[in-house]
Amino acid sequence: MPTSSYGMRFSERVAFVTGAAGAIGRATAERFAAEGASLFLVDRDAAALTALAETLRDAGGAAEYFVADLTADSAAEDAVEAAQRAYGRIDVAALIAGMAAPRRVLWEMPIADWDLVIATNLRTMFLTLRAALANMVANGVAGSIVTMSSSHALWDVHDGGAAYSASKGAVLSLTRVAAFDAAKHGIRVNAVAPGVIETPLGLPKKVPGLVMLSPEQRTARIPLKRLGQPHDVAAFIAFLASDEAAHVTGSVHLIDAGQTLQSWANSPEEG
């Protein structure tokens, strides 16, 4: 588990992390733990979730977990209630659970694919935001919540990405409304929008008929010439969740090494 150069910004705070068994979720949990947080981890991958909790405990941290498919109606409330029983409150939440969408051109996209992506990326975000905010309000916690959007919600458009882009764009709108609603309680809500991150979701397999760039081609199109890493996202989530971002709410932050600065006019010839 990495140590943090920022000290113990989350000492005596409870961090609730969904999608904790994934690459970004794990990096975020490790970052919070390195800065002193007590962790409550949620994911549907029981084996990976258990292993992560055990790793954090072995390193001297506090970590509880809850296995759940957050697309289910009551799962988010059940997870938050379990966190309440374990720690008595939630101080910060990183809502990372989601999926990469099957890529199909819009007129060939099965309705079932659309429904699955919207349910996993948007409905789940609504349910977890709703449950986490209710817990913070009930406990009088002026907490911080960070949602997971994507550069695809802004300017980074890929063919075949209608469901994913739509779901992540809606997350931005949901985040802004949540921030406005929660401000009167001192609760901050912000979003991160990663570009290409070197994870199984960030680097999908090739799909016939669609443009699928290799890691090398992707790197060539990024101004800073490197793919993002999960810890890059985790570091910014930790910043937004911390008191250093006390005057920041309702915002979205690109983490893309300048990827969305690229256009047809200045794109490199390679790739």
With beta carbons less than 8 A apart as the criterion, state whether 16 and 132 touch: yes
Domain assignment of residue 113, yes or no: yes
* Spatial CA neighbour of 70 closest among 9, 16, 112: 16
Does residue 5 lie in a domain region?
A: no
Active site residues: 164
Q: How many domains does the chain have?
A: 1
pLDDT for 93 equals 98
At 255, which helix (H) or strand (E)? Answer: strand 252-255
Domain that holds residue 71: 14-253
171's enclosing H/E stretch is helix 162-182
Using pLDDT thresholds of 50, 70 and 90, give the confidence band for residue 266: low
| Cβ neighbours for 139, distance < 8 A, ≥ 6 positions apart | 88, 89, 90
The tens digit of pLDDT for each residue in 177-229 reads 999 999 999 999 999 999 888 876 555 555 555 456 677 777 777 778 788 89
Please state, for a pLDDT cut of 70, what percent of the chain lies above it: 89
Segment 112-135 shows an average pLDDT of 96
Category of 143 on φ-ψ map: left (φ > 0), alpha (ψ -120 to 50) or beta? beta
CA 114 from chain center: how many Å? 20
Mean pLDDT score, 113-136 = 96
Rounded CA gap, 52 and 55, in Å? 5
Residue 271 has pLDDT above 50, yes or no: no
Q: Which residues contact 174 (CB under 8 A, 6 or more apart)?
A: 122, 125, 126, 129, 147
CATH of the domain at 26: 3.40.50.720
- Judge whether 261 lies within some domain: no
The residue-averaged pLDDT of 164-174 equals: 94
CB 191 within 8 A of CB 206: no
Position of tokens 């779901």?
167
Does 114 fall in a domain? yes
- For tokens 């490197």, name the residue: 226
Q: How far apart are CA 64 and CA 53, in angstroms?
A: 7
- For the cut 90, the answer to whether the pLDDT of residue 57 exceeds it is yes
Which comes out higher in pLDDT, residue 4 or 200?
A: 200
CA dist 104 and 212 (Å) reads: 12
Tell me, yes or no, whether 264 lies in a domain: no
Q: Is residue 84 part of a domain?
A: yes
User: Encoding tokens for residue 189?
Assistant: 């809500």
Does 8 fall in a domain?
no
Tokens 């296995």 correspond to 67
1 pLDDT tier (thresholds 50, 70, 90):
very low
CA–CA gap between residue 81 and residue 132 (Å, rounded): 10
